[in-house]
Amino acid sequence: YVREQTKDGRPWDGNVPTKYKIQVNTTAGGGKIGEEKSLGRWVNKQRTIFQEGKLKKDRLMDLERIGLKWSVLVITPWSTMYGSLCAYAEEKRKQNGVWDGNVPVNYKTQSNPPLNLGRWVNRQRSAHAEGRLTDEFVRKLEAVGLKWAVHKRKRTNEDDVDYDKGKF
């Protein structure tokens, strides 16, 4: 994998995508099998073992020698995510004349790489509910129109049904 990534002289970023698969053509005994194995999942397992302090020293040294990064978590700055939220809100206002203050939890931006804006908004709501969001961030999010609670349920006729008394 590393050779493939660096063949044009580009440096390797030290990561293997989780879904990356390799073709395994031989068994340890030399027999042919032609089986697909997930290299990305194997690398993630090595990272887990490393974080637990259980990775054998020789394997650790081999993986470090080829340039494997033990942590590849990319953290997007708050200001970048906030800018994406502002763009999302503006787009919704252009489409509908108003934005409801919500972002679907699975919404990702069209940027490259895509940003998980819906998950970020939910984390901001959680941080706000727990008192961990700074006053500045609260003001900015409220100014763009973010609603802290969006799961308000509208009352229906079914709410008036008394199931205990058998009245439907």
Adjacent-strand bridge partners of 38: 21
Chain segment 91-146, per-residue pLDDT in tens: 999 999 999 999 999 999 998 778 899 999 999 999 999 999 999 999 999 999 99
The SS3 of residue 24 is: strand
What's the pLDDT tens digit per position in 37-93?
A: 889 899 989 988 888 889 999 999 999 999 988 876 666 789 999 999 999 999 999
Question: What global pTM score does this model have?
Answer: 0.51
CB-CB contact of 85 with 117 (8 Å): yes
Structure tokens at 156: 């229906």
